[in-house]
A and B are shown apart, each in its own frame.
Chain A
Amino acid sequence: MLKIENLCKTYPSFQLKNVSFELPKGYIMGFIGANGAGKTTTLKSMLNIVKPDSGTVTIFGQNIVGHETALKQRIGFMYGEADYYKHKRVGVVVDVYKRFFAQWDDSAYRGYLARFGLDEKKQISELSSGMKVKLALTLALSHHAELFIFDEPTSGLDPVARAELLDLFHEIVEDGEKSILFSTHITSDLDKCADFIVFIRDGEIIANTTKDDLIAEHVLVSGKKSDLTDELRSRLVGVRPNAFGFTGLMRRKQLRDGDPVVRETPNLEDLMVYYDKGASK
């Protein structure tokens, strides 16, 4: 459904380096990375909002370059909260937006308005940060898109709203015909709903696999300070000292039977934190 190959973009202080991944039909893919890792640049490059220096983006079998108009009809896209035209009413912005979409579904739109508690008569500036996110999602969801690309859709939402949104994501992919790619740094959201994980750090993809495999490939180890030898340290992805000793992340294949460490299963947050620690080591 979505294939990114060797996407590159160079800014004076940042570089996106050969970003490649693939999202099959019917799945949810989480795109994780710290702030400034390149998530938004990648998503914008995919839709030609940022001009990539090189690389190809294929959606529904067609290159985005040259088929932008037709492909965007089938993509529900939101990046960040709907913070445009602050002094216009929600209804006015939607009235303009919907004219561009051949498959706009007014009853679906009304359904999302009710579901998210959005008031069409309110000005955009009167919406809270969370409500602006919900408006952006409503716009993306109301024209029968098949591929959804969301940039930080859960940021600014309270835990109840986040849980509702994740349920909605499950509903969307339920029929096996639609896919969702969403970026976030709130990794607990992905623990709950993602099938695949793409992990980006400093503009480079460092993991691209199923969530279960990614977690299974790593192990969280902890031990006493005296156990942290240089040899053990060299096998760790990242390490954090604490009052009792250390905790670190290791690739499971690097683990040896005699290692004097306590082993635990990491979560996605552990992966992000320790990979980042490893980079700054």
Chain B
Amino acid sequence: MKNLLYKELRLVITPGTYFFAACALLLLVPAYPYFVGVSYTVMSFLINFGVARDNQDHEFTAMLPVPRNQIVLAKHLHVFLLEAVTILVAIPAALVSSLLLNPGGNVVGMDANFAFFGFTLLGYAMFNVIFLPKYFKTGYKVGTPLAVGMVAYLGFVLGVELVVNVFPGVKAVIDGLHPATIWPQLLVLFAGLVLYAGGMLWSYRLSVRRFDKVSL
């Protein structure tokens, strides 16, 4: 697994990808729809998976002494790595934003609180379980799987924003930075973590089954 991750880092992930991940720093902006800040990473997969296809990445991996399912594993590690980097960039940005720059809260969207990260993980999970298995149906078509995954992801985060802003009861608990609402927000974060991990596992298994039928 270590070598596969190394392969993704050195040969597949384009340097520009880190710029997309760094867009999570938009959480420092006092009034900004923070879900947008963590969305750019999802778009970077269009570039990386396209570059991988154009450079015969699967064919290269198939020559290595690894079983066929490791091609699928490599791409899941790729996606996990970049989403994790985005979250890791977003966490300190959220702390600085909430504690120093904007303690009064975000006026154009959800605050960068625990629930925000939980929903972000849920959005990523939704994107991953659509994008990856759909991509591994062919092993080379990126556009449609990414578009469908992206629509689902954006639909989800827009839905979250809508629900939070339409229902004051939900807003009072889920939005905001007040310590009194920390437990329900932590619950959302926990649900996000569990569903993200479960989604990755499910996506991996389904992708392996689908990719097994693909001839390179």
Contacts and interface: CB of A to CB of B under 8 A. Distances in A.
A47 to B, nearest CB: 7
Contacts of B214: 51
Interface stretch (A69-77, A106-114, A218-226, A251-259): A69-77
A52 to B, nearest CB: 9
A100 B216 contact: no
Given A44-B216, A85-B11, A92-B11, A100 B64 contact: yes
B180 interface: no
Nearest to B215: A50
B56 A83 contact: yes
Contact of A72 (B3, B60, B64, B216): B64
Contact of A69 (B57, B66, B212, B216): B66
A66 to B, nearest CB: 9
A88 interface: yes
Q: Which of A9, A48, A78, A96 has the most CB of B within 10 A?
A: A96
Contacts of B67: 68-69
B213 to A, nearest CB: 7
Contacts, number: 68
A281 interface: no
Interface string A61-93: 000000011111100011100011111100011
Contact of A49 (B3, B57, B216): B216
Interface residues of B, number: 22
B13 to A, nearest CB: 12
A62 to B, nearest CB: 14
Contacts of B64: 72, 97, 100
Contacts of A96: 3, 6-7, 10-11
B68 A99 contact: no
Contacts of A73: 65
Contacts of B10: 88, 92, 95-96
A100 B215 contact: no
Contact of A84 (B3, B59, B212, B213): B59
Given A44-B215, A83-B56, A84-B57, A49 B62 contact: yes
B65 A51 contact: no
Contacts of B66: 68-69, 72, 100
Interface in B174-215: 212-215
Contacts of B6: 96, 99
A98 to B, nearest CB: 10
Interface in B1-60: 3, 6-7, 10-11, 55-57, 59-60
Contacts of B60: 84-85, 97
A47 B62 contact: yes
A101 B11 CA distance: 17
B63 interface: yes
B215 A77 contact: no
Contacts of B3: 96, 99-100
A135 B214 CA distance: 27
Interface string A112-130: 0000000000000000000
Interface of B: 3, 6-7, 10-11, 55-57, 59-60, 62-68, 212-216
Given A51-B213, A51-B215, A84-B60, 16 more contacts: A44-B216, A49-B59, A49-B62, A49-B216, A51-B214, A68-B67, A68-B68, A69-B66, A72-B64, A79-B59, A85-B55, A85-B57, A87-B55, A93-B11, A96-B10, A100-B66
9 contacts: A44-B215, A50-B216, A51-B213, A68-B66, A72-B65, A85-B55, A92-B10, A92-B11, A97-B60
Interface of A: 9, 44, 47-51, 68-73, 77-79, 83-88, 92-93, 95-97, 99-101, 139
